[in-house]
Amino acid sequence: MANQKKVTIEDVARQAGVGIATVSRALNNSGGISAKTKAHILQVVAEMGFVPNTSAQSLKIRQTRQIALAVPDIRNAIIPDIAWSVEQAAKQHDYRVVQINTLGNARLELETLREIKKLHVDGLVIMPLAYPKTLENMINQAGIPVSVINYGKTLSADLKADIVGLARQEGKLVMEHLLQIGRTRIAYAGAPKDKIEERYRAYEKSLGQVDASLVYFGEDFSFETGRQAANYFYSLKHMPDAIYAVNDMVAIGIVNRFKELGISVPEEVAVVGIDNNLWTTVTSPQISSVSIMGNEVGRLAAELLLKRIQSTSPTEYERVEFEPRLIVRESSVAMRQYSHRDMPSSD
């Protein structure tokens, strides 16, 4: 008589309609599972005659109960919102989050993917900033599930990762708004050109021809970069009448420094940022910004990752896009009133 095929944990998960990790939690009496689901799984276990091999099961499903989150810079005010959302989603599934700061550096982004297995995590949520050329290949070879928080880049359809990002270019919304309110001398203040370069490209495309004197590239995405940008624009013979800032921290730095210099926002210069972080609402004036849906993007990226980790069979990779929203506040509602200092000469 032929030996009956041994029932595996995958068979139980498939029959119960749940993930392998959920079966493991039921068998190990772990948290993160309802009493009803647990009872259902244990009933399936009994019906199928499954006998768990604890050590083999642990190796099979790699249950470290941890995922990693790789972000550019935790000091950027939008990143804590994203990190919080990822952590909360992970907690609901009884997972912990290991956080990595890549500093928006191409080498560190690749190193994170290359060394990720050494962290003993079950999956990775990564928010690239530098997007090195070999990034996609490294994701495909990571050996663990990966979920990408993507702002601006067009990624390959063959990328073996779930991707969550934006449906429209956020910089385009900024430029459309500034042109609509009648600003004609629009400046750009940002980090190095190769960092989130799509935001600068939106500036170029909207204007057609760029006046290089109205472009300031700082070292990073910080408050200090904004202050330095304000100093630079103030030094020009003819100041801009609007500034598109690469993110909110740069925008806040600009507004702060202009206040010290006696430049009125928005009467003389309108300022708009991107991220819609909390600090835009507590500045004076409050700062217009494009919401990139950081909380929702982070939450969904984590949920897609955890779903893939717990899945019993391969599924198509998800491509989800959120719609960015322009939030108009005090910093960009009035037409410029030229001062004598900045009035264009008639020569």
Reported as a single tens digit per residue, the pLDDT across 129-156 is: 888 889 999 999 998 999 999 987 889 9
Residue of 253 and 130 predicted with greater confidence: 253
Q: Tell me the C-alpha distance between 261 and 48, whole Å.
A: 76
What is Dmax (Cα atoms) for the chain? 103
Domains in the chain and their CATH numbers? 9-61 (1.10.260.40), 66-167+293-323 (3.40.50.2300), 170-292+328-332 (3.40.50.2300)
Q: Provide the pLDDT for residue 167.
A: 87
Tell which phi-psi region holds residue 200, choosing left (phi > 0), alpha (psi between -120 and 50) or beta. alpha
User: Alpha carbon 219 to chain centroid distance?
Assistant: 20
Q: Provide the pLDDT for residue 51.
A: 78
Q: Tell me the C-alpha distance between 68 and 59, whole Å.
A: 19
Mean pLDDT, residues 35-60: 75
Residue 322: in which H helix or E strand, if any? strand 319-322
Residue of 50 and 124 predicted with greater confidence: 124
State percent of the chain over pLDDT 90: 63
How big is the CA angle at 27 (ends 26 and 30), to the nearest 5 degrees?
Answer: 55
Residue of 36 and 30 predicted with greater confidence: 36
Residue 65: in which H helix or E strand, if any? none
Q: Tell me the C-alpha distance between 200 and 88, whole Å.
A: 33
Residue 209 CB coordination number (10 Å)? 5
Q: Tell me the C-alpha distance between 67 and 159, whole Å.
A: 20
**Residue pair 293/166 in contact by the 8 Å Cβ criterion:** yes
User: Alpha carbon 80 to chain centroid distance?
Assistant: 10
| Tens digit of each residue's pLDDT (9 = 90 or more) over 111-131 | 999 999 888 999 999 999 888
Which tokens is 223 given?
Answer: 């408050």
| Tens digit of each residue's pLDDT (9 = 90 or more) over 173-202 | 999 999 999 999 999 999 887 778 889 999
Q: Tell me the C-alpha distance between 255 and 267, whole Å.
A: 12
Q: Rounded to two decimals, what is the model's pTM?
A: 0.76
